[in-house]
Amino acid sequence: MSWRVAHHLEPAGTFHARAVPATPERAAWVCAATGPALVLGSAQHDDRVDRVACAAAGIEVVRRRSGGGAVLVVPGEVLWVDLIVPAGDALWQDDVGRAFHWVGEVWAAALEELGVATEVHRGALVRSPWSAAVCFAGLGPGEVTVAGRKVVGISQRRSRAGARFQCAALGRWDPVSIVALLGLPPAALDDLQDVAAPVGVALEPLLTALLRHLP
């Protein structure tokens, strides 16, 4: 099956509000956000956010419909790709955890083509003291690490029609801003410094490699 690739240049909130078609096909939606945004997971409480700090920094606060902690999206500093798979597709998995594996393998293949040695996490969700607040502070099935640090985060939203995998590959890891925008205690900064890292390659070639490795 072929993939329909669509590029979206728009605010993060607008992109997250896009609905998956009632009868979806395989698709890769690439989002180039037009402004910085703090993207909260579906279950995160609004009181976790320092709204004054976000407003002062000109950062929009939006919410996605998939789970996990917050992701800071800054134009040019993250590669954001949503992969859509219809129910019944050969890539579809009834097991929600195993459903992530092929996604991580595609990212790993793209990074390894560019000379980055990776590992795809195939175990259960690994939590940390800050993972409920910060996406990259935890490690879920299918997510990709380099030298033990998370470089690609993946969340999933499922319906009867299909699954939408929301993927973020880091061009830059900025725990200082995350801590400030979420109003986390200063101790969090020490813990977050080494949980994640940039992918170590330019994001445009990574996107090209990713699309080439889609199964």
| CA angle at 40 for the pair 56 and 87, rounded to the nearest 5° | 150
- Write down the pLDDT at residue 182: 96
DSSP label at 151?
A: E
CATH value of 4-210 in 3.90.550.10, 3.10.20.600, 3.30.930.10, 3.40.50.300: 3.30.930.10
- Write down the pLDDT at residue 1: 66
Q: Decide: 61 and 153 in contact? Cβ < 8 Å.
A: no
CB within 8 A of 87, min separation 6: which ones?
Answer: 160, 161, 162, 163
Q: Which secondary structure element, helix H or strand E, spans residue 108, and what is its range?
A: helix 101-113
Parse the chain into domains and list their residue ranges: 4-210
Using CA atoms, how far apart are residues 164 and 50, in angstroms rounded to an integer? Answer: 29
From first to last of its 215 residues, the chain has per-residue pLDDT tens of: 699 999 999 999 999 999 898 999 999 999 999 999 999 998 888 888 999 999 999 999 999 988 889 999 999 999 999 999 999 999 999 999 999 999 999 999 999 999 999 999 999 999 999 999 999 999 999 999 999 999 999 999 999 999 999 999 999 999 999 999 999 999 999 999 999 999 999 999 999 999 999 99
pTM: 0.95
User: In the numeric block, which tokens belong to residue 101?
Assistant: 């594996």
Using CA atoms, how far apart are residues 146 and 48, in angstroms rounded to an integer? Answer: 29
Residue with tokens 């699309």: 211
Rg of the chain on CA atoms, in Å: 16
Residue with tokens 């939590």: 127
- Write down the pLDDT at residue 55: 96
Buried b (16+ CB within 10 A) or exposed e, 170-196: bbebbbebbbbbbbbeeebeebbeebb
Other CB atoms within a 10 A radius of the CB of residue 22 amount to 9
